Structure 1
């Protein structure tokens, strides 16, 4: 067991180091995050003011908190459905993955989590610092910080595990880009990237909460922003863990089915 944990820990570290090599890309991502964060501030804060200073429980400070936390987490959340496993299935390299003494799904998730954790440094931290400079609110309860950090980690892993499901569609499809584009459109909107899920119409909010997407971004943001008290935060984390367990189980089942279906040209 200890040796197995060490293997996945090394894969996580490898993903972290791999992502750290793209420093100019990280800078570009920070510039994009900041630009779109300022645009979102202009639109959403104007909407809050037009609504009389409060919209679905969001005042200007809380809306600013939502904007900069969501922008800061964007680089670490896999909301575009891109994972390396899709390319390895397409070109046949996944056959070698199945020969290795590690679980294909767990290895992919560990590597991607390492890459996501690095992205918190050059993109997440400066975005939050920008939010603090423009008046974002801080949670009143000290419990929001450890619960928010745990919720953030679960959200990152959940987003990667769900994107893995998109990637392994390649076992049955020649090209997965169509599925990936559909996933990207749905995930960003339903996760609360553009506007908070709480201001959705009731029917749309019900659809969103019936998917794992709010558990990726909206729930960590609500906990870190202090919108959820300790009891509510524990409930949100429990929902995240339930979604993660279900998505991982689905990934295991589909990986086994895909392995039986896999055909590699030339062998």
Structure 2
């Protein structure tokens, strides 16, 4: 396991070199936070209690959403974009020669990236939002711990989805189309556009059952204490998707590796 800790640490250091991009990104997320707050305030003024959220919950959702976009990788992430490029170019063969598992290598890289983004970019929008608006915060240490666990699970789920999309390049030659499609689907079903709790009927039920819901909506609801069935049920839901997606990732990796061997490397 020491090698994977080292990979994550080096990934953290690598992303720490992009200081201007980090500051610019935090500024952009903050600006979008204020824009979304204006939209949400209008919406909740017209429909008080929409989706079971009060105004403070809705505004908290906005600022948490903006802070978590990059750590979770809703729009994709450099690590998995690079993996897709390596599959296209054939450089993936180098990765397969390493004395590490392909999935665990890239998961370690992505966790290092996510930790950096969370530490130096994620908190800025939430801090600014808290200075301007009356936001909702967890009321006890257990809730903070549950949110931390939910956030880690969300990052792993997001990675697994992006990893599977990147590996699709073994079969369709170029995974960039799938990456763009995955970004659209992720934006809709994660709650990035609107909280999934406001989706009506079967659409809302379907959206909240997808793995994308476990990346954004579920951790934020843990923070707000708004999970149907309680925090424990939310974490079990996330853990279930982690296990399913990790197993899928291991299976696809195994099949893709055999495909490379059959094709001659």
Fold agreement, TM-score > 0.5? yes
* Cα-to-partner distance string for 1:104-144 (whole Å, 9 max, x where unaligned): 01110110111011001222111111221111112234321
Runs (5+) with no aligned partner, structure 2 = none
SS at match of 1:152: helix
Partner of 1:232: 230
* Cα-to-partner distance string for 1:163-222 (whole Å, 9 max, x where unaligned): 000000011112111111110001011000121110011221122123200101111111
TM alignment of 1:101-120, pairs within 5 A: 101-120=99-118
TM norm structure 2: 0.93
Partner of 1:177: 176
Structure 1: 4+ residue segments shifted above 4 A: 263-267
Partner of 2:24: 28
Distance 1:237 1:96, change over 3 A: same
Residue 264 (structure 1) shift: 10
User: Is residue 11 of structure 1 aligned with residue 7 of structure 2?
Assistant: yes
Question: 1:79·1:163 contact (CA, 8 Å) conserved in 2?
Answer: no
SS at match of 2:62: helix
User: Is residue 39 of structure 1 aligned with residue 38 of structure 2?
Assistant: no
Corresponding residue to 1:72 among 59, 62, 67: 67
* Cα-to-partner distance string for 1:81-100 (whole Å, 9 max, x where unaligned): 44121111111111121111
TM norm structure 1: 0.93
Partner of 1:242: 240
Aligned equivalents of 1:235 and 1:203: distance in 2?
20
Cα RMSD between the aligned structures? 1.8
Q: How many residues align?
A: 261
